[in-house]
Amino acid sequence: MRYKSLMLILVLLLVAPTLTAAESSVSYGWGFVKSKNGSIPEIGKYQQLLDKYHSYYLDASGDKTVYITFDNGYEQGYTDDILDVLKKHEVPAAFFITGHYVDSAPELVKRMVEDGHIIGNHSYHHPDLTKVSKEKMQKELDMLETAVADLTEQDEMHYLRSPRGTFSARSLKWSEDMGYTNVFWSLAYTDWKTGEQKGWQHAYEQVMAQMHPGAVVLLHSVSEDNAVALEKLIIELKKQGYSFRTLDDLVKQDILPKAVTQF
């Protein structure tokens, strides 16, 4: 039985959450109080929603783990370099891509899968998923999953990152019903503005200043700064005792006993 199907069965075995009219209509923009000195970023009222719909923004185990994720809507010429660094240091990553990215950079998508990385769903057309019908959401996610399956050996998608970081109780519930785990992030900085790059040192300092155990790091591969800083970040974090893990590891440790996931 495929992993995604198994996850869906596990979800359906739980008591199905009931939405009130009020909570289903409220749209949120993802945000948090940044980590300082290794503290866990605070997300306030969002935590209840994430818990209710089995979503993630970090690894709460307390282990010194890091999860590298990228959002890819278009290509700027740096992703090959990023993939080279990840391969050199044997670091896994997740790339949340759109339909435009599949169409415009198919060879890079193929390489992501061939190198062992996870392709996540960022929707096909990048709409606000809190503003669309359930049927439209299903179509957006299915179109992207099919496009990646037609191009690579990854035939299913398990993880969703909402476009623009917007979400609602309804969008979390609907996507969970569709077999997806929503993945937000606990560490990010303004790196997507290609005309406002400040050099690799700035990128490095921004990430290291917010680093904490269990961090889910959001980066954008359109940033030349990230492409240059990434290797330095990996080397330093390994020196500090951090290990790099996959989103599959993150989810499995909540389903299986810790002794099993470490086997």
Mean of the per-residue pLDDT values of the chain: 91
Entry pTM: 0.89
User: Rounded CA gap, 22 and 94, in Å?
Assistant: 33
Instruction: For 224-233, write each residue's pLDDT tens digit.
Output: 999 999 999 9
Determine the pLDDT at residue 255: 78
**Number of neighbouring beta carbons within 10 Å of residue 259:** 7
- SS3 of residue 246 by DSSP: coil
Containing H/E element for 146? helix 134-151
Determine the pLDDT at residue 4: 53
Q: Which residues contact 177 (CB under 8 A, 6 or more apart)?
A: 11
Tell me the pairing of strands 65-72 and 215-220: parallel
Tokens coding 240: 């500090």
- Strand-pairing partners, residue 231, are none
Q: Which residues contact 74 (CB under 8 A, 6 or more apart)?
A: 100, 101, 104, 222
User: Confidence class of residue 234 from pLDDT cuts 50, 70 and 90?
Assistant: very high
Which residues are part of the catalytic machinery?
Answer: 71, 220
Instruction: For 176-226, write each residue's pLDDT tens digit.
Output: 999 999 999 999 999 999 999 999 999 999 999 999 999 999 999 999 999
Tokens coding 154: 């990854």
Q: Which residues contact 99 (CB under 8 A, 6 or more apart)?
A: 123, 124, 125, 143, 144, 147
Determine the pLDDT at residue 254: 80
CATH architecture of 43-261: Alpha-Beta Barrel (3.20)
Determine the pLDDT at residue 1: 38
**b/e sequence 48-65, b meaning 16+ C-beta within 10 Å:** ebbeebbbbbbbeeebbb
